């Protein structure tokens, strides 16, 4: 059989399924090895919680409104204005009355007094803190002989 006949029989176009030829394939191999670093650290974390009293002065204001009857007649050019007397704001309420002449009569005044009260507020609140301590150690590399095997070795 010559070369041409061999090709014809191997690569026949009459076959319905294509022929698969493996060309290249990757493989992976995983392993562990013991590495003695000689030194290490341990980290210890501690969380503490304590309560601390917090004191703060708190203020609030009260307003008192009083209607003070006046029934006082004044001239138009002497009309009273809003005024402040200490902690009290005084707002005159006027009305016009009809007489032979026009006059202002102070009907009433509104007195507004502001007072301030201070109280001490005390409350206990939780506080959290964390501490970390680091312990340095030797991995016992000096105690190990050449025949010793590392931990968990197979």
Is the entire prediction scored with pTM above 0.75? no
How many other C-beta atoms can be found within 10 angstroms of the C-beta atom of residue 89? 15
pLDDT at residue 7 in the model: 46
Choose among 77, 111, 106, 79: nearest CA to 94.
Answer: 106
- Alpha carbon distance 46, 126 (integer Å): 16
| Edge-to-edge strand ranges of the sheet holding 88-98 | 39-74, 102-138, 88-98, 83-85
pLDDT at 39: 73
Phi, psi of 74 (to 5 degrees): -130, 160
**pLDDT value, residue 1:** 46
Q: What is the pLDDT at residue 109?
A: 93
Q: Quick one: tokens of 40?
A: 């290490």
pLDDT tens sequence across 91-126:
999 998 877 777 788 999 999 999 999 999 999 988
Helix (H) / strand (E) containing 48: strand 39-74
In this prediction, the residues of the chain whose per-residue pLDDT falls under 70 are: 1-15, 36-38, 138-154
Query: What pLDDT does residue 27 have?
Result: 81
Alpha helices in 57-136 (DSSP H): none
Neighbour tally for 94: CB within 10 Å: 16
């Amino acid at each position: 059989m010559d070369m041409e006949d061999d090709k014809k029989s191997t690569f026949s176009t009459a076959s319905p399924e294509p022929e698969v030829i493996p060309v290249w394939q990757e493989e992976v191999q995983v392993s562990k090895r013991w590495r003695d670093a000689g030194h290490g650290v341990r980290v210890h974390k501690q969380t503490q919680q304590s309560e601390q009293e917090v004191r703060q002065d708190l203020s609030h204001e009260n307003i008192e409104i009083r209607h003070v009857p006046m029934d006082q007649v004044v001239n138009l050019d002497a009309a009273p204005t809003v005024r402040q007397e200490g902690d009290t704001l005084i707002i005159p309420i006027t009305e016009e009355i009809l007489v032979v002449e026009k006059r202002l009569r102070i009907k009433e005044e509104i007195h507004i007094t502001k007072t301030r009260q201070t109280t001490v507020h005390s409350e206990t609140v939780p506080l959290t803190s964390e501490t970390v301590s680091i312990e340095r150690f030797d991995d016992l590399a000096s105690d190990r002989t050449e025949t010793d095997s590392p931990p968990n070795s197979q």
